[in-house]
Structure 1
Amino acid sequence: MLGDALPANAALIAGGIALPVGSPTTTLTVSRELFWQWDRLWLANRREPAPIQQVFSKDGRRHPRRPAKPTGTVYRRHIPWLDKTFSLRALDVERDLPTVNRWMNEPAVAHFWQETGDLAHHRRYLSGIAADPHTLGLIGCFDDQPFSYFEAYWAKEDRIAPFYDAADHDRGWHVLVGEPGLRGREFLTAWMPGISHYLFLDDCRTQRIVIEPRIDNRRMVHSLNRCGYASLKEIQFPHKRAVLGLLMRERFFDDALWIPRGDSPFDLPAVPQS
């Protein structure tokens, strides 16, 4: 309960986060589900949803025009059980190239990503991601120290779209955890809900997040299930057989999935990448 509806609560009321209760309606209440959707608390550069204009991708897929990509830090949240801050910042190709190159050539990462190569190879790869309007490269950090690389994408124009009824604002993601010392269970319980939280906040119209880890990455599949992703079916890509996982917005916020499930934050198995 927030007490009387004073001017200081105007932003909460205007944002639909604080709701009046009782009669007269001078008392406000904030539900957990609504509070965790108040994007200004976690988004560093929040933006209003872009107007919808339908366009066609090069391969003929019809989808909304995507907003310009952000720069700098986009998401930040303190993780109590680590006493560290997890953050996501937009990829900067030249700044992040040496780090991503090192990560991509690390054996545990290379096994799943299959993108080993020299700096020139990864400059081309990351430049392609930066130029692709449907994919956003992100660097995951703990206390501003990089440890992981994410690719967040709009599912409607992605390779995953033919395998399910992709909606206009569905998102998906891939990840590699490049720093071996930060692949433990306690770290996963921070970054996996963190990327989900960010994608739901980035556009309030996003109702579902999908992911397609390789079927032999059992640790990843198990961890996704523990973090709210339902395994729907197996799908076959040209380069891999995968599990289609899906997380609904309603489940994430109603079930408070930013809080670790299980007996402790350390129950989930370590997982390097998807």
Structure 2
Amino acid sequence: MKPVSHLDSYRRHATAGAPPIPELTHPWHARVARPDGYDLHLIHRWHQAPHVAAFARRAWSLPRWEEQLRGQLDGDDVRPLLISWHGRPVIHAEVYRAARDVVAGCYQARPHDLGLNLAVGELAMTDQGLVRSLLPRLTDALFEADPHCTRIVLEPDVRNKRAIRSFEAGGFMVADEIMLPNKLALLMVCPR
């Protein structure tokens, strides 16, 4: 077996597999979101909520969400997750390979870089410190699951001050302001 080297994340010819599924510790739990039933309906409802729709811009129909989740699960670029806190699903997350995403056009992405999209589904669960509590555990679990990964990125809408404060408190630093197809965003980075 070839020894793991963090230098592999810098090599242009290096390739990375599908994003890992993080193994979180109590009171957190992450699992792959299913493209049907409870998971589909929950993710659809959460993305209709004004506090999520305002920044995520994915207030899609139920069939569109089903297509999105099936596409993510059929490919190797994104893993959709439901993250629970004390057994209750509270966050829809996507772990993605940043080098294979549109964000890679805005910075020098390395093959093993991971990206995160996070949405706290219920308005009543916002401002409870969930994201700032989760992020250090989540980033540690992702670095553990992919030893070649040297950084994790987020790209929140610049107007989403609540999320930006939570991301900073959770260990991410602002690297740059970037223009993405659907938003002006901050590139935020958490190094290994």
Same fold (TM over 0.5): yes
Change (3 A) 1:143 1:90: same
- Percent identity, please: 27
**Alignment partner of 2:23: what SS?**
strand
Task: Output the CA distance in 1 between the equivalents of 2:19 and 2:80.
Answer: 13
Equivalent residues in 2 for 1:19-98, closer than 5 Å: 64-67=15-18, 74-78=22-26, 85-95=27-37, 96-98=39-41
Change (3 A) 1:223 1:65: closer
Task: Quote how far apart the aligned CAs of 1:67 are.
Answer: 4.3
Q: Is the 8 A contact 1:109 1:178 kept in 2?
A: yes
Task: Quote how far apart the aligned CAs of 1:118 are.
Answer: 2.9
Task: Quote how far apart the aligned CAs of 1:63 are.
Answer: 5.4
Task: Quote how far apart the aligned CAs of 1:243 are.
Answer: 0.7
Task: Quote how far apart the aligned CAs of 1:155 are.
Answer: 1.3
In the TM superposition, what whole-angstrom CA distance separates every residue of 1:136-162 from its partner, at most 9, and x where no partner exists? 111010122211100111111111112
Amino acid aligned to 1:168: P
Pair 1:125-2:68 in alignment: yes
Q: Of 191, 195, 199, which residue of structure 1 is paired with 2:142? A: 199
Task: Output the CA distance in 1 between the equivalents of 2:30 and 2:124.
Answer: 19
Task: Quote how far apart the aligned CAs of 1:131 are.
Answer: 2.2
Task: Output the CA distance in 2 between the equivalents of 1:117 and 1:130.
Answer: 18
Structure 1: where are the runs of 5+ without partners?
1-49, 52-60, 79-84, 250-274
Task: Quote how far apart the aligned CAs of 1:62 are.
Answer: 6.3
Change (3 A) 1:226 1:69: closer
> Taking structure 2 as the reference length, what is the TM-score of the superposition?
0.85
Pair 1:111-2:54 in alignment: yes
Larger fraction in helix: 2
In the TM superposition, what whole-angstrom CA distance separates every residue of 1:102-153 from its partner, at most 9, and x where no partner exists? 1111111111112223321211121222223111111010122211100111
Q: Is the 8 A contact 2:44 2:60 kept in 1?
A: yes
RMSD value, Cα:
2.3
> Taking structure 1 as the reference length, what is the TM-score of the superposition?
0.61
Residue matched to 1:266: none
Larger Rg: 1
Pair 1:246-2:189 in alignment: yes
Q: Is the 8 A contact 2:132 2:169 kept in 1?
A: no
| Larger RCO (alpha carbons 8 Å, 6+ apart) | 2
